[in-house]
Structure 1
Amino acid sequence: MKSDITSILPEECISYILSLTSPTDVCRSKLVSPVFRSAANSDTIWGKFLPSDCYEIISNSPSSLSKRLTASMSKTQLYFHLCNRGVLIDNGTMSFGLDKATGKKCYMMGARRLSIAEVNTPTNWRWKCLPQSRFSEVAELKQVWSLDVKGVIETKILSPKTTYVAYLVYKFATSRSGFDKKPVDLHVKLEESDAGRTFRVFLDPSSNIPQFSRERGDGWMEVKLGEFFNEHGDDGKAVCRLREVDNSTPKKGLIIEGIDIRPKDSR
């Protein structure tokens, strides 16, 4: 007489076996049987998929949220909260989340965390609140002739052995100009390396120019700045940059939410 695995092994053993796979495999296993579905919801599994320093990172979020996440959520609930919503950390200048398919770390540097040339000159930029942004403020370009935006992130806070892609997250105000006439240079590199590919794209292309940006599910656009391989997560830095230095073309109307850094092929 044939028996399936659920009649031989207790649910705790099935949970342990599933914890040795991947988040994607665990989610697929829920379709096998009710026993697998129950085992797949175990904290034994999702606790193993949380980064070892997850609670330390969350402790940098606002105190009330940090307490709720660590005290009232199961590890399963916390995992999916970080995948679907993430949390703000470092005084609200950065967000932290997880890639749902792999459990690897994702970060987004808000505009306040970026180095933006002339951002504190009122005639050039202004800070504003937008309800669709996860951050309290975004940077809106009033007018500049030369554009330079840079974000730097320490590789030690990222997941090792992972290829990361950096994206500029942005949109345009109703009145905008300059970004359909001149391309911008997009570049990502590890600080200790001279390597890194530069992309030249139009952020607001006309109909006869290829569109390199894409819409996100949160009401913003994103365009790829570049990618890098984080091998060991040593004390290095990844530098992400956007530049357009043609002083003959004024630019206005760009709204920057931040720079999103997540594992390659995570969406």
Structure 2
Amino acid sequence: MGASWSMAEESGAAGPTGMADLPEGCLAEVLARLEPAEICRLARLSRAFRAAAAADFIWEAKLPRGYRRFLGRVLPHPGAEDGRNRNPKKGSGSGSKKELYSRLCRPTLFDGGTKEFWLEKHSGGICISISSKALSITMIDDRRYWNYVPTEESRFHTVAYLQQIWWLEVDGELDFYFPEGTYSLYFRLHLGRASRRLGRRINSPQHIHGWDIQPVRFQLSTSDGQRAQSKCYLDDPGTWIHYHVGDFDVQDSEVSTKVKFSMIQIDCTHTKGGLCVDSVLVCPKGFQLEKEMPPLCA
């Protein structure tokens, strides 16, 4: 039916009256009640829908509540920190709200390239990934224990690789103006060191040991007193896994929320090694992760 509207409109032929004949303002009111993906699909039907779908009030409502408080932080100078994001004509304060929504849906590095921000395009929920280089890792400067290794399997093209250590402690924090909602926090980890040989992915198990003796303990706390923790035995070498630390609630987007998080295995009766620490992910609860699924943690 949408195709017939579009063809009739483009050719100027007379036809039955349909939704595309409604005033642009009425169409915009209808579109405002749909999800972003549905709005974009309808915008392809005809010029009338395209014009209505560009209304600022539609996309203003889809943007995260309180977005102006963090906009300057994640888009201070578009393209300055990441060569993939160069569009000098569409800064953080110019262009339409639809353009701004589209811009925020594209992953953007901030805080010196150690964090990445994007909107989940279907819901408008915010996601933040934090590089291993933004984390505090015990003994990270001693190359007998840790090394930063390049890889295309990370958003940040680098992961922290542990060869062997007695005391594992990885800490981090994020201070951000989160919109209201419930958020989940994950560590993205991998046992073994992946590489490519003759076009095939291979995983070296050379240093993997110690993770089946005692579980790793994950925990988080927020500036308003929320706490969560879990523990897991690290398993499944060769697979990137999101380990679920816990959830936290944000009730006021006008107040900055500081989240502290950690991963600890400090049983010094044995060494452990062969671990890649890629990043920490903060996303809306229920967010569809990649192919990696969080294991069941206690």
Q: TM-score, normalised by structure 1?
A: 0.78
Q: Measure the CA separation in 2 of the matches of 1:5 and 1:179.
A: 61
Structure 2 residue aligned with 1:222:
242
Aligned AA (1:202): Y
Are 1:189 and 1:227, in contact at CA under 8 Å, matched by a contact in 2? no
Aligned AA (2:259): A
Structure 1 position 90, deviation (Å):
1.3
Structure 1 residue aligned with 2:221:
189
User: Is the partner of 1:70 in helix, strand or coil?
Assistant: coil
Q: Measure the CA separation in 1 of the matches of 2:45 and 2:96.
A: 23
Q: Which of 169, 174, 197 is the equivalent residue of 2:188?
A: 169
Q: Measure the CA separation in 1 of the matches of 2:235 and 2:165.
A: 16
Flag the 1:189–1:181 CA change in 2: closer, same or farther, 3 A: same
Structure 1 position 21, deviation (Å):
4.5
Structure 1 position 123, deviation (Å):
1.2
Q: Identity of paired residues, percent?
A: 26
Are 1:60 and 1:89, in contact at CA under 8 Å, matched by a contact in 2? no
Q: What is the aligned residue count? A: 248
Superposed CA deviations along residues 123-162 of structure 1, whole A, max 9, x for unmatched, are: 111112212322143211121112111221114x222x21
User: Is the partner of 2:286 in helix, strand or coil?
Assistant: coil
Q: Measure the CA separation in 1 of the matches of 2:134 and 2:262.
A: 13
Structure 2 residue aligned with 1:132:
153
User: Is the partner of 1:177 in helix, strand or coil?
Assistant: coil
Are 1:187 and 1:242, in contact at CA under 8 Å, matched by a contact in 2? yes
Superposed CA deviations along residues 177-222 of structure 1, whole A, max 9, x for unmatched, are: 22233211111221342x423211112159xxxxxxxx7xxxx421
Aligned AA (1:101): H
Residue 203, structure 1, aligned to residue 203, structure 2 = no
Structure 1: segments with no counterpart, 5+ residues: 207-214
Q: Measure the CA separation in 2 of the matches of 1:16 and 1:192.
A: 38
Structure 1 position 243, deviation (Å):
1.0
Flag the 1:38–1:185 CA change in 2: closer, same or farther, 3 A: same
The CA RMSD over aligned residues, in Å, is: 3.2
Are 1:144 and 1:252, in contact at CA under 8 Å, matched by a contact in 2? yes
Q: Measure the CA separation in 2 of the matches of 1:106 and 1:143.
A: 32
Are 1:171 and 1:221, in contact at CA under 8 Å, matched by a contact in 2? yes
Residue 58, structure 1, aligned to residue 75, structure 2 = yes
Structure 2 residue aligned with 1:95:
116
Are 1:60 and 1:66, in contact at CA under 8 Å, matched by a contact in 2? no
Q: Which of 28, 37, 62 is the equivalent residue of 1:15?
A: 28
Structure 1 residue aligned with 2:165:
144
Flag the 1:164–1:201 CA change in 2: closer, same or farther, 3 A: same
User: Looking at both structures, which has the greater relative contact order when contacts are Cα pairs under 8 Å and sequence separation is at least 6?
Assistant: 1
Are 2:219 and 2:228, in contact at CA under 8 Å, matched by a contact in 1? yes
Superposed CA deviations along residues 84-128 of structure 1, whole A, max 9, x for unmatched, are: x41111111000101223212211111111111111121111112
Are 1:26 and 1:40, in contact at CA under 8 Å, matched by a contact in 2? no
User: Is the partner of 2:227 in helix, strand or coil?
Assistant: coil
Are 2:178 and 2:257, in contact at CA under 8 Å, matched by a contact in 1? no
Residue 104, structure 1, aligned to residue 134, structure 2 = no
Structure 2 residue aligned with 1:261:
282
Q: TM-score, normalised by structure 2?
A: 0.71
